[in-house]
Every structure is written in structure tokens, then in C-alpha cells.
Amino acid sequence: HACGSIVMAALASVFRGITGSRAVQGVLRHAPQRQLHLHEAYSMELLKKHGVRTPRMGIAHTPAEAATVAENLGGEQWAVKAQVLAGGRGKGHFENGFKGGVHVVKGAEQVETIAQNMIGHKLITKQTGHIGRPCNMVLIVEKMNIIKEYYFAILMDRASQGPVIVASSQGGMDIEAVAKDDPSAILKEPIDIKKGLSQEQAEALAVKLGFSPQSSEQAAQEMLKLYSFFLKYDCTMVEINPFVQDAFGHAVVLDAKVNFDDNAIARQPEVASHRDYSQENPLDVVALKNDLNYIGLDGNIGCLVNGAGLAMATMDIIQLHGGKPANFLDIGGGATAKQVTEAFKIITSDPRVSCILVNIFGGIMRCDVIAEGIIHATKQLDLKVPVVVRLQGTRKIEAKALIASSQLDIISADELDLAAKRAVQVSRIVQLAREAGLTVSFKDLITTDASVESELTPEL
């Protein structure tokens, strides 16, 4: 199953809104989660429940359970598939040296042995990086007699402003390679979101793909079920690779990757119940639970900003002055002091961070609320990293007064350019101090900004 497929390339335009920032390009530590992903096993269960034809299968959380599942399924051969949210499982390897996340074996004893090498170990693939992801369960699938393999996917497409089917007669392989080597092998069928996928469309596509005359109608029925599933469960992508024709002429979904719209998760409790947080970056999970938009980067200057556009501009200007942002973190327009504290926890959990730049434009957001959050977070976390703060907008005078009276290592600046310069300079000083085993304080810089003094004096 090619997780990193042409479908993901088509979805890349959704992500370009964030990666358009120069500072972000090429330095992402991990991709942001714009969709909710489920393990293949749970996706297949949902598909089966929806009436889609799937092979007989079972989930196992222990090696012994895997052998029992195989025996209960019957037959002589089974596929043992590591359940890890990453593509390239078959070509991956485990941290214990075991090769491959997908194996076809004979006998329940072999199933147990394979499962023992998978469960409880991290699988490393081209998509996980060297850290890998934990395999906590395996999927046992009956081996089928396959006549032909196809590729079939439904996804949301900006170009056609609605769902589109992407399909190919060359399934069961890396679809990206197929698209590169033989673009004519990729079929695209836009779907009118108001009319839906028609029987005629589905049958015509089945014929184009090469399903036999006796199987094309049945294949079309499965396509219609998949489109119905796509709508019912608020999917952003349903990718079937391979979509096969078996020896009996049936069209069968043999492997599935399904992404769900996380904005609609409130009305999909069954989907939400299968979410596996062990497969996600821990910082992403913390950010999600606190309604923060976070993406980890490879720099050393932490960023806390309200608004995605302002966040990208902040990262770019840091880069312009020779620094490197450590993250994208948007606290939104209605953040509370608690959210600010959680944001600081996320940023400072990265040991490389040597300075934090806070850039807030108070429109809906009040600057004094942010200031209170910054002060509270600095005290509660006993923050050892200097903070540069640029506040503009609603109640900024009160906010600066709070910061000035806090006597903490919080450096104020009115202009973003000055704030970014200071953040870069402070970051370099802290890095040098760390290398020398020293600590450094920047309290003397708090009132060096003449504009800050002039604005604060009347209020104080």
C-alpha cells in the first residue's frame, strides 16, 4: 500500500498555505495533521460495516491472539500486517532488526512468530524518519486468489471544487511511480457534489480500468458504496490500493487508507474512538487538546503568535535577520491565560529553543490577557529561556505595564523588525552561554526601548 501516493500530492495544495512561508520550507520536523488518520484495520472495519466487500480479517494485540485469529479465519495462508500510520510498511524495518511490516505466511505458528517480531516494536519506514512509530497491533487477513489489481481513490480536489476519483489499472504498487513513468495510466473522474456519483459514471470507469464484462457492474457497485462511505463519514480521502478482482469475479477492497476531516469529528464519534494518539507527535496531541495550531520546525527561536498569516510573517522576518524559527504556533483570536501557558510548555519542551518571540496583534484578542498569560507561564514554568514580546492593539499600554512591573526576563519591543532582531541576538547570546556553562539575564534590556518608556510613564 503506497501511503505516500499521488493522492497526497494532490492534497499538497491544502498544505501550501502554511509552507508558503520561506522560513517553513524545507525545515518541517513533521507534517501538520490536517486530517484524522485511522489504522488500516479500523478503516477496513468501517468499510465492511458500510457494506463494502472486504476479505475476512481480524485484529490481534498479542502474538498468541494473532495465531488464534488465523486459526479462526481458517485457510492455510494469511497476510500479517503491522498497524502503523505510515506508508512503505512492506519495505520498512523494525528497531529489533526484523525486516518488513507486511508478510504472507503459512501456518498459525508462523503467524505468531511474525507478530512477535512486530508487536511492541517500532517500525521505521521512509515516512517515519529514523525514530519510527510503535506497532501495538497487527491485522491478520485471509490470502485471496487475485486475478487483477487496481488503484482507486476518492479525494477532495480544489481544482474541480469537489470530490474527484483517481484510478489506475496498475494497482498494488507505488502509484507515484506509476504517475511519473506512465501518466496516461492515471484516470481522473470529477464528481458533481450535488448529483453525486452516478451508476453510469461508475460502470464506465470500471470498463476503462479493465474489469471483465461480468465484473464491471459489480465493481461499479463497490465504487458507489465507497463514494457513499466518503460522504457519510466526512472523509477527505479514501484510497484503495489494491482494489482487486478475485477468482470469482468479485471486486474486493484489499487495503484501505482513509483520512477524515477533523473539523467534522464531533459528529463522527465512532471514528474518533479509534484515534491512536501513540502514532502522533506528542506535542501535536497537546496542541490539539488545547486548541492550538502547532508545527515543529528545526530552528531555535520559539514563536507564539495569534493568526496564521502573522505567524508566517514572523517566521520569515526571523529568517531574514539570520535566525531560525523553532515552530509555527498560532494561539488563535480568543486564547486564554491557560492556553498561553500550554503554548509555552510546548515551545520549551524543545531543548534547542534559546529564545521565545511573542508577536500579538490585539484585535479581538486583548494584549493584557496575553501579558497575564506570559507572566503566569514564566513564573509557573520557572522559565529559563528569555522572552521577547511585541504587543500591538487592544489594551497594549496596560499589557506593557504588567510586563514592566513583573521584573521577569521579558524584553519588550514595539516594532516587529526590532523584536525579531532582538530575538535573534538574544538567542545567539544564550547559545554561547550554554556552551560555556553559564546563565545569562536580560532584565536590563526591559526598559531600553524609548518608545516603551514614553508610553508606560503616564500609566505608571
Contact indicator for 331, 65 with CB cutoff of 8 Å: no
- The residue annotated as part of the active site, out of 65, 203, 222, 239, is 239
Please give the DSSP secondary-structure letter assigned to residue 127.
Answer: T
φ/ψ of 431, rounded to 5, equals -60, -45
The question of whether 239 is a catalytic residue gets the answer: yes
Catalytic residue among 40, 112, 149, 151: 151
Residue 151 bears catalytic tag: yes
CA distance 343 to 323: 21
Nearest to 427 by CA among 460, 396, 388, 375: 388
The crossing angle, in degrees rounded to 10, of helices 282-289 and 337-348 is 170
446 phi, psi to nearest 5 deg: -65, -40
Q: Are 197 and 224 in contact (CB under 8 A)?
A: yes
Residues in the chain: 460
2 φ/ψ angles, rounded to the nearest 5 degrees: -95, 95
Cα 351 versus chain centre, distance: 22
Parallel/antiparallel/unpaired status of strands 121-124 and 93-94 = antiparallel
Are the C-beta atoms of residues 401 and 369 closer than 8 Å to each other? no
Query: Amino acid identity, residue 126?
Result: K
Give catalytic residues, as residue numbers: 151, 239
